[in-house]
């Protein structure tokens, strides 16, 4: 039986054409890893999800509430997310493989998409607790975030630099933002240390419910931490209700992070859409208004994703 060579050629071309069309139509799954729903990561993640869902052809997006930085980075390494927010010091520890920070081995698949906005260490206490300084925390009840979360790692570093330890406290709870605040309202905790963007919902809620004190982290304590990720920052007066003065504290840069399994093209599109619509992120949460293109590639603790690198070169930011 003779087979028409022209028929074979046409069939092969048609098969290739259909395969290419199928590949082009393949959906881009974008799972965005955030933090607790009462923090800052979550609303920014929701805004990005909406942006990518409409701006990237065929994109299927989802937003996952997590325990934030450390969990996000481990999930990225496992290929269970395409984009996440994480603290800069946690990203450095992940890339190096710091077991004490929650990373049993170096997370070699983690890549940076861009620097985001700074987190501020916000230590708040009920006024009736009498806590005004770090030293006043001795013997008191405090929450420091989930175990080995970015927030809890910050707490350990700050307390150590201030000559304190968990053993000095009357009670230490490892709870998310909203739960910590509820326990303070119920007089079951005296204070909470939270690492977040300014104007976070949980502290706003607490400040409108009862009189609170903000505990400063002095500059000499920050210097003793001896980690370049920890910089001096200020929580401006009137950020929260009843806060009449500036508060000296630690500022740590947040990063948008991804992983090597994300294609260069998808990483490029995610980065481009993000910086072309910063107003959308700022509307989602005021902390995102601090994201700046000219600072997006500065002092990164892990490599840039090639797709993000392409965008920054394109706009002259790298």
Question: Residue 192: which of 2, 38, 33 has the closest Cα?
Answer: 38
Mean pLDDT, residues 8-12: 48
CATH number at residue 274: 3.40.190.10
**Alpha carbon distance 91, 70 (integer Å):** 8
Count of structural domains, the chain: 2
Tell me: pLDDT of 301 over 80: yes
Q: Looking at the domain assignment, is residue 1 inside a domain?
A: no
Q: Looking at the domain assignment, is residue 16 inside a domain?
A: no
Say yes or no: 230 and 304 in one domain. no
Tell me: pLDDT of 177 over 80: yes
pLDDT on residue 249: 98
**Alpha carbon distance 97, 102 (integer Å):** 8
* pLDDT classification of 4: cutoffs 50, 70, 90: low
Give the H/E segment covering residue 32.
strand 28-33
Say yes or no: 76 and 178 in one domain. no
Q: Looking at the domain assignment, is residue 22 inside a domain?
A: no
Last residue of a domain, one of 252, 282, 301: 252
Residues 304/312, Cβ–Cβ less than 8 Å: yes
DSSP annotation string for 260-278:
TTS-HHHHHHHHHHHHHTH
Say yes or no: 241 and 266 in one domain. no
Say yes or no: 65 and 101 in one domain. yes
**Alpha carbon distance 231, 1 (integer Å):** 79
Q: Is 112 helix (H, G, I), strand (E, B) or coil?
A: strand
Mean pLDDT, residues 228-247: 95
Say yes or no: 147 and 204 in one domain. yes
Q: Looking at the domain assignment, is residue 220 inside a domain?
A: yes
Q: Looking at the domain assignment, is residue 23 inside a domain?
A: no
41-55 vs 264-276: helix crossing angle, rounded to 10: 110
- Calculate the average pLDDT of the chain: 92
Structure-block tokens of residue 22: 């199928």
Say yes or no: 86 and 166 in one domain. no
Tell me: pLDDT of 125 over 60: yes
Q: Looking at the domain assignment, is residue 216 inside a domain?
A: yes
Question: Residue 143: which of 199, 102, 186 has the closest Cα?
Answer: 186
Tell me: pLDDT of 25 over 80: no
Say yes or no: 109 and 136 in one domain. no
DSSP letter (8 states) at residue 304: B
Residues 231/222, Cβ–Cβ less than 8 Å: yes
Say yes or no: 237 and 206 in one domain. yes
Tell me: pLDDT of 29 over 90: yes
Structure-block tokens of residue 192: 């909470």
Say yes or no: 173 and 197 in one domain. yes
Mean pLDDT, residues 19-29: 59
pLDDT on residue 317: 95
| φ/ψ of residue 142, rounded to 5 | -140, 150
Mean pLDDT, residues 72-92: 96
- Residues 51-75: tens digit of each pLDDT: 999 999 999 999 999 999 999 999 9
Q: Looking at the domain assignment, is residue 14 inside a domain?
A: no
Whether the model pTM is above 0.75: yes
Say yes or no: 151 and 67 in one domain. no
Q: Give the bridge partners for 59, in sequence order.
A: 28
Last residue of a domain, one of 252, 269, 292: 252
Last residue of a domain, one of 252, 267, 283: 252
- Residues 30-51: tens digit of each pLDDT: 999 999 888 899 999 999 999 9
pLDDT on residue 21: 41
**Alpha carbon distance 171, 176 (integer Å):** 16
Say yes or no: 129 and 246 in one domain. yes
SS (H, E, C) 49-90: HHHHHHHCCCEEEEEECCCCHHHHHHHHHCCCCCEEEEEHHH
Its domain, for residue 248, covers 119-252
Q: Looking at the domain assignment, is residue 218 inside a domain?
A: yes
Say yes or no: 80 and 128 in one domain. no
pLDDT on residue 100: 87
* pLDDT classification of 111: cutoffs 50, 70, 90: very high
Residues of the chain with pLDDT > 90, as a percent, come to 83
- Residues 137-147: tens digit of each pLDDT: 999 999 999 88
**Alpha carbon distance 192, 129 (integer Å):** 12
- Residues 205-231: tens digit of each pLDDT: 999 999 999 999 999 999 999 888 899
Torsion of the alpha carbons at 277, 281, 283 and 286, rounded to the nearest 10: -130
pLDDT on residue 20: 45
Q: Is 248 helix (H, G, I), strand (E, B) or coil?
A: strand
């Amino acid at each position: 039986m003779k087979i028409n060579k022209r028929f074979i050629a046409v069939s092969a071309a048609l098969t290739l054409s259909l395969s290419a069309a199928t590949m082009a139509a393949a959906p881009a799954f974008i799972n965005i890893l955030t933090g607790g729903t009462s923090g800052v990561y979550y609303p920014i993640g929701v805004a990005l999800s909406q942006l990518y869902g409409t701006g990237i052809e065929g994109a299927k997006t989802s937003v996952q509430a997590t325990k934030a930085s450390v969990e996000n980075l481990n999930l990225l390494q496992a290929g269970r997310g395409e984009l996440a927010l994480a603290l800069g010091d946690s990203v450095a520890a992940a890339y190096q493989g710091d077991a004490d920070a929650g990373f049993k081995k170096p997370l070699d698949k983690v890549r940076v998409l861009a620097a985001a906005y700074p987190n501020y260490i916000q230590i708040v206490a009920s006024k009736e607790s009498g806590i005004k300084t770090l030293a006043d925390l001795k013997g008191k009840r405090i929450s420091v975030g989930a175990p080995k979360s970015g927030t809890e790692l910050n707490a350990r570093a700050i307390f150590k630099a201030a000559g304190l330890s968990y053993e000095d406290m009357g009670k230490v709870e490892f709870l998310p933002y909203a739960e910590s605040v509820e326990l303070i309202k119920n007089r079951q905790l005296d204070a909470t240390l939270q690492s977040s963007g300014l104007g976070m919902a949980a502290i706003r809620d607490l400040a409108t419910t009862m009189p609170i004190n903000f505990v400063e982290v002095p500059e000499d304590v920050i210097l003793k931490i001896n980690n370049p990720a920890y910089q001096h920052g200020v929580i401006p007066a009137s950020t929260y209700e009843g806060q009449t003065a500036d508060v000296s504290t630690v500022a740590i840069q947040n990063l948008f992070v991804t992983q090597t399994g994300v294609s260069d093209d998808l990483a490029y599109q995610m980065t481009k859409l993000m910086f072309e619509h910063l107003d959308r992120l700022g509307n989602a949460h005021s902390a995102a208004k601090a994201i700046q293109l000219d600072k997006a590639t500065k002092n990164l603790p892990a490599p840039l994703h090639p797709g993000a690198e392409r965008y920054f070169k394109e706009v002259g930011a790298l």
